């Protein structure tokens, strides 16, 4: 059986975790702080905070920005439920919009969905390909006249909504650590970027996540980092490491915060993963994806995933002005190989997956659109409103991509997919 996406656990990881276990410090401490510094350097930002998941990290962002009842947050219909669930957790309304052919949120649909209630936009880098975050920021800036900040919102002496004066752009980069926009790493474009280090992700800490801050002036990233640190630890004025210093036992609680810090055991894994990310992880994933590409490219039954958009396509002007804006190049982190079977219906796609499974290969579908899941269906998001989302989903099959997948196994996957397509579609 070829699994879909097992983590790369080898002696380096085991040794690093063992050292952390034996160090006498296993919760948030020196390894987490080192991981944060290294992530910030990688992303080219002043500050990154490491937390226990994308979900909790991104929910903190909505709470920090004061998003709540009566507010709207624009999300793509085509994403994992976490993107919209955090909006529900804070009592706001997810406003779903359709996606482009490359699975990323359609900037034009975002522009049309902006209202006086829009407090945040969450573009998603599906499969590792960056969404057009630069364009989304321009849309948010252009719509600033619609933005209605909450005036009585106070966060550590300031009001982030008044400071930013527009909808916050929170990038869902759960899949795209290491991807680039115009040659610059993801994390250095959106106001705040959220990463996931869940077990199946390119870079894992078993469970985990991080926020990279790139807020414009006059935000002070040290102040913002300090606030998120406190927010992720019950509003406590000192973390466990600080309280552990001799005589330093007294602390205060400034507000009822949450509890979603990263542990040093997780950070120990993350540091090893980060060390080998550019030299081993990304090159191997890219090589696997290129091998799949070569196998499927001259066959009209298949549509290849987009790993790089060349940036030579002039984008529609986000501002409604007359001069087209040039798009930068968007380069994937090669997280998923999202193959599409060009003419398959949803039923045929499902049958193809069953036929692949018979051949001992695990594949997946990214994603079941949120409007097709019971809860979101019950909230009145008809899938008919998102035709591109449905069209991409209904013919999509994600193939295995992971460091230890051998070239020979890639060949087995390709054979299984081609045979399954013949079995179901007849040609
Ligand atoms: C697009 C997307 N966003 C968010 C998440 C949530 O990440 P986490 O499991 O770290 O909370 C996932 C997880 O798979 C995801 O795929």
Query: How do residues 109-121 score in pLDDT, each as one tens digit?
Result: 999 999 999 999 9
Tell me if 66 sits within 8 A of 155, measured CB to CB.
yes
Lowest-pLDDT choice from 191-205, 214-228, 306-320: 306-320
Tell me if 270 sits within 8 A of 208, measured CB to CB.
yes
Identify the residue whose tokens are 């996606």.
Answer: 99
Q: Is 338 in a helix, a strand, or coil?
A: strand
* Ligand 1 pocket member 55 (CB < 6 A): yes
Question: In the chain, where does the domain assigned CATH 3.90.1150.10 lie?
Answer: 277-425
Question: In the chain, where does the domain assigned CATH 3.40.640.10 lie?
Answer: 11-275
pTM listed for this prediction: 0.95
Identify the residue whose tokens are 């380069």.
Answer: 331
Q: What is the mean pLDDT of residues 59-75?
A: 98
Query: At 326, is the pLDDT very low, low, confident or very high (cuts 50, 70, 90)?
Result: low
Query: At 156, is the pLDDT very low, low, confident or very high (cuts 50, 70, 90)?
Result: confident
- For residue 300, the CA-to-ligand 1 centroid distance in Å is 32
Q: What is the mean pLDDT of residues 94-105?
A: 97
Show the tokens assigned to 11. Answer: 């002696």
CATH number of 11-275: 3.40.640.10
- For residue 123, the CA-to-ligand 1 centroid distance in Å is 13
> Would strands 168-172 and 308-309 be described as parallel, antiparallel, or unpaired?
unpaired
- For residue 175, the CA-to-ligand 1 centroid distance in Å is 8
Rounded distance between C-alpha atoms, residue 245 and residue 47, angstroms: 24
Count of beta carbons in the 10 Å neighbourhood of residue 204: 21
Query: At 6, is the pLDDT very low, low, confident or very high (cuts 50, 70, 90)?
Result: very high
Identify the residue whose tokens are 């719509």.
Answer: 143
Show the tokens assigned to 172. Answer: 């869902």
Please tell me the predicted confidence (pLDDT) of residue 321.
44
Q: Is 267 in a helix, a strand, or coil?
A: helix
* Ligand 1 pocket member 196 (CB < 6 A): yes
Cα separation values, 237 from 141, 243, 250, 357, Å: 35, 10, 9, 52
Count of beta carbons in the 10 Å neighbourhood of residue 95: 20
- Class (C level, CATH) for 277-425: alpha beta
Query: At 154, is the pLDDT very low, low, confident or very high (cuts 50, 70, 90)?
Result: confident
Q: Whose CA is nearest to atom 1 of ligand 1?
A: 80
Rounded distance between C-alpha atoms, residue 188 and residue 174, angstroms: 15
Query: At 322, is the pLDDT very low, low, confident or very high (cuts 50, 70, 90)?
Result: very low
Please tell me the predicted confidence (pLDDT) of residue 238.
85
Query: At 273, is the pLDDT very low, low, confident or very high (cuts 50, 70, 90)?
Result: very high
Where residue 247 falls (left for φ over 0; alpha for ψ -120 to 50; beta otherwise) is left
Please tell me the predicted confidence (pLDDT) of residue 325.
55
279 Cβ contact list (under 8 Å, min separation 6): none
pLDDT of 315 > 70? The answer is: no
- pLDDT tens digit sequence for 384-398: 999 999 999 999 999
């Amino acid at each position: 059986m070829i699994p879909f996406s097992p983590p790369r656990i080898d002696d380096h990881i085991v040794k690093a975790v063992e050292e952390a276990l034996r160090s006498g410090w296993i919760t948030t401490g020196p390894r987490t702080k080192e991981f944060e510094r290294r992530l910030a350097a990688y992303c080219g930002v002043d500050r990154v905070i490491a937390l226990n998941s994308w979900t909790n990290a991104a929910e903190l962002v909505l709470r920090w920005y004061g998003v709540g009842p009566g507010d709207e947050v624009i999300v793509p219909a085509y994403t994992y439920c976490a993107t919209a669930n955090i909006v529900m957790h804070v009592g706001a309304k997810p406003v779903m919009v359709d996606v482009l052919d490359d699975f990323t949120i359609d900037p034009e649909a975002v522009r049309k969905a902006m209202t006086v209630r829009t407090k945040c936009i969450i573009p998603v880098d599906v499969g590792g390909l960056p969404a057009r975050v630069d364009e989304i920021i321009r849309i948010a800036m252009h719509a600033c006249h619609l933005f209605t900040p909450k005036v009585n919102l106070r966060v550590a002496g300031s009001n982030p909504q008044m400071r930013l004066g527009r909808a916050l752009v929170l990038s869902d980069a759960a899949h795209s650590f290491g991807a680039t926009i115009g040659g610059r790493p993801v994390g250095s474009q959106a106001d705040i970027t959220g990463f996931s280090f869940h077990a199946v992700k390119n870079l894992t800490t078993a469970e985990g996540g991080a926020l990279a801050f790139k807020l414009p002036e006059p935000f002070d990233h040290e102040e913002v980092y300090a606030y998120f640190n406190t927010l992720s630890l019950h509003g406590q004025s000192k973390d466990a490491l600080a309280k552990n210093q001799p005589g330093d036992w007294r602390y205060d609680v400034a507000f009822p915060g949450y509890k979603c810090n990263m542990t040093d055991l997780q950070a120990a894994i993350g540091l090893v993963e980060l060390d080998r990310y550019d030299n081993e992880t990304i090159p191997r994933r890219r090589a696997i994806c290129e091998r799949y590409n070569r196998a499927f490219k001259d066959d009209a039954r298949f549509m290849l995933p987009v790993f790089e958009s060349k940036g030579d396509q002039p984008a529609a002007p986000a501002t409604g002005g007359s001069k087209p804006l040039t798009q930068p190049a968007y380069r994937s982190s090669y997280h998923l190989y999202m193959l599409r079977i060009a003419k398959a219906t949803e039923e045929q796609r499902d049958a193809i997956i069953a036929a692949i499974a018979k051949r001992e290969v695990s594949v997946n579908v990214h994603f079941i659109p949120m409007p097709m899941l019971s809860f979101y269906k019950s909230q009145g998001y008809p899938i008919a409103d998102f035709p591109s989302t449905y069209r991409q989903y209904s013919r999509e099959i994600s193939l295995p991509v992971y460091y230890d997948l051998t070239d020979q196994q890639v060949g087995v996957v390709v054979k299984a997919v081609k045979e399954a397509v013949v079995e179901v579609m007849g040609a």
